[in-house]
Amino acid sequence: KMKKFTLAAALLLGLLALPAAAKEIVVLVGGDKEAGKALAKSSEGRWAKSLSKGLRLASRALAEGGEMTVVVKVAAGDYDGDIGSGAYQFPELNNKDAEFRLEGGYSPDFTQRDPFGTPTRFVTISERSAPLLQFHPSQPEPPSAQKAIKSLILDGVICDVGSSSNYDKKSSALIRGPATSTHAVIGWGATQVGYFEVRNCVFVNSPQRAFRTLLRPANETVKFRLYNNVFVNCVTPVRLDSAPSPQGKVVEIEVDHCSFLLNWAPSLDPSAGNPCALQLGTKDEVGKVTIKNSLFYANFGGAISALNKQNPALVLSDNNFVGNGLLQKEFESEAPILLVL
C-alpha cells in the first residue's frame, strides 16, 4: 500500500537536494595573539602573526579546490613586506571556483572594523625593488600556466610608498634617479578573474602609476570596479584596461565614489605620455568606462586622459572637477574634465 507523501517529507527531500553552501575560510593576521587565536578557534579559522604566513595559509586553502570564499582579515598596524623587504610577493592564488578577499582595518581583537580609523598600512623601505603588493610570480609565466580565480577583492588598506622615493630637501619635489623606485604600488599580473574590485583603499606617494587593472576576464560579461578609493600625491595613478584574454575584453570598468587629489604628471612636457590622474585604455581592452560620484581635485596634468583614437565608451555622472590641468595651462576651476590628446 502506498504511504501518504507528506508536505514535511517533500520539504526535507527538497533541502537534501540543494547544493551544499560554499565554505568560508577566514585567516586572521596580526593584532592581539590571544584574541586572534581564540576567535579563529571558535570559527574554525586560522590566525597568523605575519601577513606572509597568512597568505600562505590562504594559498593552501585555495589549492584544495572547489567552491569557497577565502578571506584574509588584517589587523590595524604597519606591514613592511616579507621579512622586512618593503614588498609582499603573494603565493599562488589559483582556484577558478573560489573568491578571495584581503580586508584591512580590523581592531586588534578583530571585533570591529574601520579601515580609515584603525588603518592597515602597507609601508616600504628605501630600497624597494618590486611592487608593494605583487599578486603574480617574479618571472613571467606562459599563458598555459597563468592563474585563475572567481573573484579578487582588495578592501580597506593604505599603501604608502613614499619611503622608496627620493625628494628634494628644499622643494620636497620628487627626484627621478637610482634612489627612487620605478615600480608600481600593485602588480596584479595576468590572473584570470570573474570579478575584480578595489574598495576603501588609499594610495599615497607613488612615483609611478599606482596600478593598472591588468587582469584577464574569465568571460565576456566580467566587470571591474574601483569604489571609495583615494589616490593622493601619485604620478598618473591608474590606467583602466585589461590583459588580453581568449574570452574577450572586460565589458565595463566602473569608478565610483573615488577621489583623485593632488596627483602629478611624469614630466613638465604635457605631450610626454599620460599626464592625467586617470587614463582610459583602448576599446580593445575595455568595452565601457563609467566614472561617477567622484572627485578630481588639483591634478596637475589633468583629470582624465584618453590617449588613443580607439577609446571605449565613456559615461560621466555626478562628478566634481576642481582645479585640474595647470600643466595644460587651463586655469578655469572645472578644466579639463576630459583631456583627449
Which pLDDT value is given to residue 273? Answer: 73
One-character DSSP codes across 182-213: ---SEE-TT-EES-EEEES-EEE--SS-SEE-
For residues 277 and 279, give the distance between their C-alpha atoms in angstroms, rounded to a whole number.
7
Which pLDDT value is given to residue 168? Answer: 66
pLDDT exceeds 50 at position 309? yes
Tell how far CA 102 is from the center of its chain.
9
Which pLDDT value is given to residue 31? Answer: 96
- Residue 53 — pLDDT band, cuts 50, 70, 90? very high
- Residue 328 — pLDDT band, cuts 50, 70, 90? confident
Arithmetic mean of pLDDT, 241-247: 90
3-state secondary structure of 63: helix
pLDDT exceeds 80 at position 272? no
CA angle in degrees (0–180, nearest 5) for 215-325-286: 20
The mean pLDDT value of the chain amounts to: 87
CA atoms within 13 A on the CB side of 80: 10
β-strand pairing of 192-193 with 216-217: parallel
Arithmetic mean of pLDDT, 202-220: 92
pLDDT exceeds 80 at position 13? no
pLDDT exceeds 70 at position 121? yes
Q: Which of 81-90, 106-115, 194-203 has the lowest mean pLDDT?
A: 81-90
Give the phi and the psi of residue 291 in degrees, each rounded to 5. Answer: -120, 120
β-strand pairing of 295-297 with 259-261: parallel
Global confidence as pTM? 0.89
% helix / strand / coil in the chain, to the nearest 5?
A: 15, 35, 50
Per residue in 332-341, pLDDT (tens digit) is 666 666 766 5
Which pLDDT value is given to residue 137? Answer: 67
- Please tell me which residue, 137 or 312, carries the higher pLDDT value: 312
- Residue 311 — pLDDT band, cuts 50, 70, 90? confident
3-state secondary structure of 106: strand
328: DSSP letter: G
pLDDT exceeds 80 at position 207? yes
Which pLDDT value is given to residue 225? Answer: 98
The residue type of 189 is G
Which pLDDT value is given to residue 2? Answer: 47
Per residue in 140-178, pLDDT (tens digit) is 665 555 689 999 999 999 999 988 777 666 666 676 666
